[in-house]
């Protein structure tokens, strides 16, 4: 697991690339969002995302989501949880 400082560095880099892509295609950066996926990562990954200011996390494995999401919900009621991709 990465540290919170490493996580924020990665997120900042991704957000910068997203802003550049938006600028290149004439789209407002505020019209897109970063959706972190916690697949194969512990609960703390969702906590890092929330602490960083991201409002949602995603998962594509129902079994993994079922074990993590109760803890995520208990930690923060204002985070949105998404299922993505082909469910496994």
- For 40-56, write each residue's pLDDT tens digit: 999 899 899 999 999 99
Report helix, strand and coil shares of the chain as percent, to nearest 5: 55, 10, 35
- For 59-87, write each residue's pLDDT tens digit: 988 888 888 888 887 777 788 889 998 86
- For 27-40, write each residue's pLDDT tens digit: 999 999 999 999 89
First-to-final CA distance of the chain: 23
DSSP 20-59: HHHHHHT--GGG-----B-TTS-HHHHHHHHHHT--EEEE
* pTM score: 0.84
Query: How many whole angstroms separate alpha carbon 26 and alpha carbon 66?
Result: 39
């Amino acid at each position: 697991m990465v540290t919170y400082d490493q996580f924020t560095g990665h997120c900042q880099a991704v957000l910068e690339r997203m802003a550049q892509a938006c600028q290149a295609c004439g789209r407002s950066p505020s019209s897109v969002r970063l959706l972190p996926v916690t697949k194969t990562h512990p609960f703390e990954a969702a906590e890092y995302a929330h602490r960083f200011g991201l409002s949602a996390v995603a998962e594509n494995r129902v079994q993994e989501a079922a074990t993590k999401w109760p803890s995520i919900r208990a930690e923060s009621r204002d985070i949105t949880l998404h299922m993505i991709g082909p469910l496994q």
